[in-house]
Amino acid sequence: MTWHETKAEVKGDRMMANRQNSERTRVMIVEQDQKFGLKLADWLATHGYHPVFIRTVNAAIDALAGFRPKAVLVGLGCSTSAAEADLVEVPLLIQTICPSVPVIMMADQSSEDLTHVVFRQGVRRFLVKPMECSHIGAVLQSELSAAAA
């Protein structure tokens, strides 16, 4: 086998991987907790999704238009002032860039005030951590099915 044949095979493998990823449902994960975000991304990938894990809100907003996800999972830490600022801005920005994309928020703690703010900003589901990836997957699939209907 010559160098050109090897290069063509590698390029063909990359094209096949890109084609497989483009056929999979794209899901953006915005999560500051790297361990949880990677665990969730791995679970989603093994269950047929094409996840992209991003740790900051600003990077996620920049990537939204290019990635064009079918759903966005946003994790909030337990810092209430940061959480409130994110809750007000993030869902609105996501809805502006990708109006029909379901947004699912995940938080370390739940309060009545937090849930009211979340749903007023266009979030479809609010999940309280800790939770199993399979539960997030079930909620995600439910929202994707509702969005497709």
Q: For the chain, what is the largest distance between any 2 Cα atoms, rounded to a whole number of angstroms?
A: 65
Closest CA to 73 of 99, 45, 41, 117: 41
Convert the pLDDT of each residue in 12-31 to its tens digit.
Answer: 444 344 445 558 999 999 99
Using the predicted structure, report yes or no on whether residue 4 has a pLDDT greater than 60.
Answer: no
Per-residue pLDDT, averaged over 117-137, amounts to 84
pLDDT of residue 56: 84
Q: How far apart are CA 124 and CA 120, in angstroms?
A: 10
Residue 69 has a CB neighbour count (10 Å cut-off) of 23
pTM of the model: 0.76
pLDDT of residue 73: 93
